[in-house]
Chain A
Amino acid sequence: GAVVSQHPSRVICKSGTSVKIECRSLDFQATTMFWYRQFPKQSLMLMATSNEGSKATYEQGVEKDKFLINHASLTLSTLTVTSAHPEDSSFYICSAPRTSGGFETQYFGPGTRLLVL
């Protein structure tokens, strides 16, 4: 079954509004989560690393004031796209590392499709 969930699965909003996307690890704790963006027919691009209890670290070129990340608990990270514009329309995916048998594997959420009109 799924080990990482995202909500909502899809959202349509007007330009200028803010959208919050939630990422939850199920049945395990994640002090670190990752947020990716994926445009059609392209690969996943890491946007930022969400750190529980501290500030997120952003990849080069990603505006931290536009993509607000809050890691509120060991099972929840949120990504808020502020003042969304049509160019922010994309597929947003989170991941969380889970350790099993001494090894760590990244598990991905089902993604959130954002369409900004």
Chain B
Amino acid sequence: GESVGLHLPTLSVQEGDNSIINCAYSNSASDYFIWYKQESGKGPQFIIDIRSNMDKRQGQRVTVLLNKTVKHLSLQIAATQPGDSAVYFCADVSNFGNEKLTFGTGTRLTIIP
């Protein structure tokens, strides 16, 4: 079946450096993508989203890039801080209005002080 997946299960980054977390999706009908951050023992926290009519969107210290040609999504976190250590999930909605999310496997980001 079609799924949303991540390239790397773990990522370690020095504090202050930038980090990039990647996500590949296979459903060409996906038109809405979301990045979530999940800290240990907590529910996922919305970070940023992007719709298929965009290829870049920026938030506070975060940028999401969407490449529909190769079905690739990335989350860039600038000037990482210890509080950024968490598991990051990408999720997609294949039919906007359907509301059902398909989650990737997650990437554990560890910020090294």
Contacts and interface: CB of A to CB of B under 8 A. Distances in A.
Given A105-B46, A113-B41, A46 B104 contact: no
Q: What DSSP secondary structure best describes chain B's contact surface?
A: loop
A43 B100 contact: no
Interface string A73-117: 000000000000000000101010100000111111111010000
Contacts of A111: 41-43
Nearest to B9: A41
Contacts of B106: 42-43
Contacts of A49: 99-100
B11 to A, nearest CB: 15
A63 to B, nearest CB: 19
A14 to B, nearest CB: 23
Interface residues of A, number: 24
Contact of B43 (A46, A93, A103): A93
A103 B101 CA distance: 15
A104 B99 contact: yes
A32 B99 contact: yes
